[in-house]
Amino acid sequence: MNPVLFILGFPGAAAVLLALLPDYRLAARLNVAASLLTLLASAVPFIHRPETTPFLLIDDFNIYLVALTAFVAFTTSLFSARYVLHEVEIGRLLPRYLRFYHAMYQAFVLTMLAALTANNLGVLWVAIEGATLTTVLMVGLYRTHAALEAAWKYFILCGVGIALALFGTILMYLAAEPVMGEGLRAMTWSELLPRVAAFNPALLNLAFVFLLVGYGTKVGLAPLHAWLPDAHAEGPTPISAVLSGLLLNVALYSVLRFKMLLAANPQAVAPGPLMVTMGLTSLLLASFMLYRRRDIKRLFAYSSIEHMGIITFAFGMGGALANFAGLLHMTMHSLTKSAIFYAVGYISQIKGTQRIAEISGLTASQPVLGWALVLGVVAIAGLPPFGVFMSEFLVLTTSFARAPVLAVLVLAGLLIGFGALVLRLQGLAFGEGTGGEKVSNAALLPAFVHLALVLAAGIYLPAPLVSWFQTVAKLLG
């Protein structure tokens, strides 16, 4: 029995069940249970690698991404369970919305895992489209004016993005068809890779441009990032956590799959420079924008744009070391950003506001929460000994070696972003406490687990993980 079917089956079944379940407390627990089962299922391919079918594929690249996704989905479900229950208590959410929310959550996890394990380009597209759909509906959950506008913007921008990605997919099929004949085979990624050198390079180029722009919108690359801050700020915090932590990764994964195809055709234009440009633009734009943010979730949303910019830049540079750095950064960012959003979620719940100006002295009034935030921001800002420092350092060293001018720009962006985050952190975490109830330590456990992992990765990366990243880095070209 193909273990991937379980990885996809658990969230799918859970989504259906949760749609039918009226009791929201039970639903929250079921959500956690389903995520745990999915996490356990995602560990199975490590033991016994399933075979590649025309629709499903597990290879070195996505095996750890699947595990990472399942893990963060699980910890977020833990956070979500407490968070939404409290939201119902304070009256910000109605219980009947929660039924929808939990069902959509599992559906979203299903679509992300389907995108990660898809071997067929069409299925990949449908999965990403499904992920867009579920998150759009969840962003609008609070049904306030701002939430509806954020959902609408998200829908319009990402809808156009995936439409363009579909066109790119059609062009890719058109390029494959003369060599591989009609039918499903010409859309199967594992079949395409060995034969892509025979495809028409001009057509491949055009296809990749559409795919980069299309899926790149979902990654949040500038100038297509406009949906990201609003979606993060107006949606429920667990959704912000999975958007930043997981969806951006999955979208970038799709882009990378196509990059791998293009890299195998020597006459096709190198996709690197395009990705480098977009990555650098995102990094610089987001770093500057960090200074003007007045809303805490928007602040960290721009931080996500910044980091996806760094990752795209790294993959654009290419080569074993840069790819390794990119993969490491994907993982670290995913864990750190979701931890930060867990903390931010509780903060905004306790303080009743998301405006930075109205939040201060967290380490005084809620020490555990405050210090969690401090650690998270320190981690994401790229300070050692956290793992983010390691990956940023690797990115810088490779780019200094190959393109010093770009490296200077990257460094400038990183420093600007660092400054903004530290500035805001001062105001948020230190100074006079403004009161408010305390959060139990257990509630913050997921955040601390993430941060511990990031810290551990920064100090010592276990050898199997290193060799893994290296294998994939080679695959990426």
User: Where does this chain bind another protein (CB under 8 A)?
Assistant: 120, 122-123, 125-126, 129-130, 132-133, 136-137, 140, 143-146, 148-149, 151-152, 155-156, 159-160, 163-164, 166-167, 170, 173-174, 177-178, 182-184, 186-187, 200, 202-203, 205-206, 226, 229-230, 292-295, 298
- Going by C-alpha positions, the residue among 110, 104, 106, 122 that lies closest to residue 66 is 110
The residue (of 271 and 387) whose beta carbon lies closer to another protein is 271
Six-digit token string for 112 = 């992300």
The residue (of 215 and 448) whose beta carbon lies closer to another protein is 215
**CB of residue 230 to another protein, shortest distance in Å:** 8
- Write out 264-295 in H/E/C secondary structure: CCCCCCCCHHHHHHHHHHHHHHHHHHHCCCCE
**CB of residue 185 to another protein, shortest distance in Å:** 9
Tell me how far apart the alpha carbons of residues 419 and 245 are, in angstroms, rounded to a whole number. 23
Peptide bond before residue 22 is cis, with ω within 30 degrees of 0: no
Residues whose CB falls within 8 Å of the CB of residue 327, separated by 6 or more in sequence, listed in order:
469, 472, 473
* Number of neighbours of residue 8 by Cβ within 10 angstroms: 22
Report the chain's terminal Cα–Cα distance, integer Å. 33
The residue (of 45 and 220) whose beta carbon lies closer to another protein is 220
Tell me how far apart the alpha carbons of residues 232 and 341 are, in angstroms, rounded to a whole number. 10
Give Cα 445 distance to the centre of its chain: 21
* Number of neighbours of residue 92 by Cβ within 10 angstroms: 16
**CB of residue 298 to another protein, shortest distance in Å:** 8
The residue (of 4 and 206) whose beta carbon lies closer to another protein is 206
The residue (of 298 and 333) whose beta carbon lies closer to another protein is 298
**CB of residue 182 to another protein, shortest distance in Å:** 3
Peptide bond before residue 404 is cis, with ω within 30 degrees of 0: no
**CB of residue 299 to another protein, shortest distance in Å:** 10
Question: Are the C-beta atoms of residues 310 and 329 closer than 8 Å to each other?
Answer: yes
**CB of residue 130 to another protein, shortest distance in Å:** 7
**CB of residue 51 to another protein, shortest distance in Å:** 21
Residues whose CB falls within 8 Å of the CB of residue 405, separated by 6 or more in sequence, listed in order:
none
Residue type, 297: K
The residue (of 143 and 438) whose beta carbon lies closer to another protein is 143
The residue (of 178 and 273) whose beta carbon lies closer to another protein is 178
Q: What is the CA radius of gyration of the chain?
A: 21
- Going by C-alpha positions, the residue among 221, 229, 324, 231 that lies closest to residue 276 is 221
Question: Are the C-beta atoms of residues 389 and 396 closer than 8 Å to each other?
Answer: no
The residue (of 42 and 217) whose beta carbon lies closer to another protein is 217
The residue (of 44 and 226) whose beta carbon lies closer to another protein is 226
Residue type, 331: T
Our CA dihedral for 165, 169, 174, 178, rounded to 10 degrees, sits at 150
**CB of residue 262 to another protein, shortest distance in Å:** 14
Residues whose CB falls within 8 Å of the CB of residue 180, separated by 6 or more in sequence, listed in order:
186, 191, 192, 195
Question: Are the C-beta atoms of residues 8 and 112 closer than 8 Å to each other?
Answer: no
HSE (side-chain half, CA atoms, 13 Å) at 132 = 27
**CB of residue 114 to another protein, shortest distance in Å:** 12
- Going by C-alpha positions, the residue among 135, 144, 286 that lies closest to residue 218 is 135
**CB of residue 170 to another protein, shortest distance in Å:** 5
**CB of residue 275 to another protein, shortest distance in Å:** 20
For residue 249, give Cα distances in angstroms to 54, 186, 335, 446: 23, 26, 11, 20
The residue (of 156 and 401) whose beta carbon lies closer to another protein is 156
The residue (of 26 and 202) whose beta carbon lies closer to another protein is 202
**CB of residue 205 to another protein, shortest distance in Å:** 8
Residues whose CB falls within 8 Å of the CB of residue 352, separated by 6 or more in sequence, listed in order:
none
The residue (of 222 and 372) whose beta carbon lies closer to another protein is 222
